[in-house]
Structure 1
Amino acid sequence: MILAGDIGATKTLLAIYNSSTMQPLVQYSYSSTAYAHFDELLQTFLHKVNKPHIAAMCLGVAGPVLAGSCQTLNLPWTLHVNKLQQQTHCMRVQLLNDLEAMGHGIQHLSPTDYDCLTPELPAQQGNIALLAAGTGLGEAFLYWDGSQHHVIATEGGHTDFAPQTELEIELLRFLQRQYQHVSYERLLSGVGLFQIYQFLCEYDKQAEEPEITRQLQTVPDPSALISQFAMTRHSVLCTRALDIFMQIYGAEAGNMALKVLSYGGVYLGGGIAPKILTALQTSYFLQAFRAKGRYQVINAKIPVYVILNQQIGLLGAAWYAKTHL
């Protein structure tokens, strides 16, 4: 049996897979913040599934993995391969960056697991770029060697935000008053969408509808509500915030496409893209994706996909355990 996991700042998925059929036998979702340490969560899971014999274990973790260890960026957790080996009595254990796990999952998606934003472009072989906006922004790419893909993890979501318009320059200045370093993750994340909205409230000096303001102040995730109000056109400010979010997302996806020449496609993962799919299908995202001056002729040939399967990280971790461990 294979133990696979997808560890995020918001939730953690753990599952036991049959290594022959690659079907999950049992799967549980946990609130990550409910546990002080990952080993507590893992112990809870192992007790619930009656401590099965585990032949291989792979966990995708939101953070950089170095020498078999990972200090998660948005949780007070540190994971070590040797400690996991002791806890599970399994010697074949691997930690992957969460986007690296997603990259392995891309290769096992079915056609119903994603939506193509560029149906006019045929699928091609080549490098693949992967971006996932959710609690944070993850980035990875898949190198094509002529016969297979090799997944390479990055921390590209933490690179410097590069504004492209006068309005985005003012947005950068707004964020610089709050943060020492303004990365793409500050904007292309759940918190980022809310910060774009807050910036517009200050910049436009336009009053929001009182009922919308009240709802945004009382919900635990105002960004989700902003996107809902934007797509239903219930709020001018929410609509503008989502438009700016899509333009920045498109620009950074286009940057990634050029950096790795991802003729095999750009894939958008994470929890945000499927929720704003109808908005992504409009022109804002693709216009920014292709607006690369002389090199727009390259990005105009690159297909873009939205991953709909929210368990791609778990799927990728399971397949990595089967094929590499």
Structure 2
Amino acid sequence: MYLAGDIGGTKTILALFDQATGPHHPVFEQTFASARYPDLETMIAEFREQHPVPIEGAAFGVAGPVVSGRASITNLSWTIDAARLSTVLNGAPVRLLNDLEAIAQSVPILEPADLETLTAGQAIAGGAIGVIAPGTGLGEAFLTWDGVRYRPHPSEGGHTTFAPRNQVEKDLLDYLHQRYNHVSYERVCSGIGIPNLYAFVRDRLLQRETPAVAEQLAAASDPTPVIVQAGMATEQMCLVCRTTLELFVDILAAEAGNLALKVLATGGVYIGGGLPPRMLPLIKRERFLQVFRDKGRFSELLSQVPIHVILEPKAGLLGAAAAAMS
């Protein structure tokens, strides 16, 4: 049996996997409210009281950078140490992965039902693979072939400087420079970035707001779900919200194309995170491919790159399980 976890600031999922059934089929799975526990060791101890089986290995995807087997969790006071967790698990090897690295780890074992293919392209065997995932923040990772299997590599590409493509995006950059010294892609292509786009569309483009949506936003602790729901509504759609999401999708397409060039992703680009499946009708438009490929002399190269949206909501847990088994 192998233990895998998807560790977040709000919730943590722990699950046991059997080598025989593989990472797609957890034997036991449980979700915990992270803030109720002083550390991961206490949570694991409670989980193992209910499932007291020997553990051969463990891996955890964590929402934060991993350095020398240690990680601090964003929005949580935990420090996770792989060596300490190994002691708790009676010496079983433990691996910590950045959350995007965990999603990347899942890519080679995703099944057709886990994906929405935007374009099949012409994947090159052993070619690098790019992974971009707008969730609360914007994560980016990539995989390279070592001659036997794909190996994931984390990055902090979501914090690179936002590069506008047209006059509207230039105006957006000017608008956000009034708030931030550095405008990264995460500021405009993530859950925390969507309210920035909404404010820009409201203040600079349409100069109006839907009263009912404005009332909901004023009462919401997190405005992003309100904006996404109102922008994707088929009835009584909010024009400011819809324009916000269309701008978001354009920026996502452009940065996915940037990532494809940076890592020469001839094996494909995979779009993960919680937001893209909720905007799938916009992402499936031909415009997404046009913006993705709009790279001048390299447009033809990008026209051959396969692009997939990851629909599996627990890809990070699946990837952690695959890492534990390997």
Structure 1: give runs of 5+ residues left out of the alignment.
none
Identity of counterpart residues, as a percentage?
42
> What is the CA–CA distance in structure 2 between the aligned matches of 1:135 and 1:185, rounded to whole Å?
9
13-22 or 132-141, larger mean C-alpha shift: 13-22
Question: What aligned pairs does 1:10-25 form with structure 2 within 5 A after superposition?
Answer: 10-22=10-22, 23-25=25-27
Work out whether residues 128 and 263 of structure 2, in 8 Å CA contact, stay in contact via their aligned partners in 1.
yes
AA at the equivalent of 1:315: L
Identify the residue that residue 278 of structure 1 maps to in structure 2: 281
Instruction: Indicate the residue corresponding to 2:244 in structure 1.
Output: 241
| Partner Cα separation in structure 2 for residue 38 and residue 188 of structure 1 | 30
SS at match of 1:191: coil
Alignment pair present for 1:6 and 2:9: no
Q: Find out whether 1:255 has 2:255 as its counterpart.
A: no
Q: In structure 2, what is the equivalent of residue 232 of structure 1?
A: 233
Normalised to the residue count of structure 1, the TM-score between the two structures is: 0.92
- Cross-structure match for 2:69: 68
SS at match of 1:21: coil
Work out whether residues 201 and 244 of structure 2, in 8 Å CA contact, stay in contact via their aligned partners in 1: yes
Distance 1:127 1:318 in 2: 22
User: What's the counterpart of residue 325 of structure 2?
Assistant: 322
Q: How far apart are residue 109 of structure 1 and its match?
A: 1.0
Partner of 1:132: 133
How far apart are residue 146 of structure 1 and its match? Answer: 4.9
How far did residue 34 of structure 1 move?
4.3
SS at match of 1:90: coil
> Which of 32, 40, 43 pairs up with 1:30?
32
Provide the residue aligned with 2:59 in structure 1: 58
Q: Residues of 2 paired with 1:147 and 1:50: CA distance?
A: 34
**Distance in 2 (alpha carbons) for counterparts of 1:61 and 1:32:** 12
After superposition, the Cα gap between the structure-2 partners of 1:24 and 1:205, relative to the gap in structure 1 and judged at 3 Å, is closer
Paired residues in the alignment total: 321
Question: What is the CA–CA distance in structure 2 between the aligned matches of 1:188 and 1:76, rounded to whole Å?
Answer: 26
State the match for 1:189 in structure 2: 190
**1:101-250 correspondence to structure 2 within 5 Å:** 101-119=102-120, 121-125=121-125, 126-204=127-205, 206-232=207-233, 234-250=237-253
Q: Which consecutive unaligned segments of at least 5 residues does structure 2 have?
A: none
Is residue 54–residue 90 contact of structure 1 (8 Å, CA) maintained in 2?
no
Q: Mean Cα displacement is larger for which, 266-275 or 232-241?
A: 232-241
TM-score (norm 2): 0.92
Counterpart contact for 1:15–1:25, Cα < 8 Å: yes
Identify the residue that residue 81 of structure 2 maps to in structure 1.
80
- SS for the counterpart of 1:75 is coil
User: What amino acid is aligned across from residue 15 of structure 1 in structure 2?
Assistant: A
CA contact (8 A) 2:213 2:226 kept: no
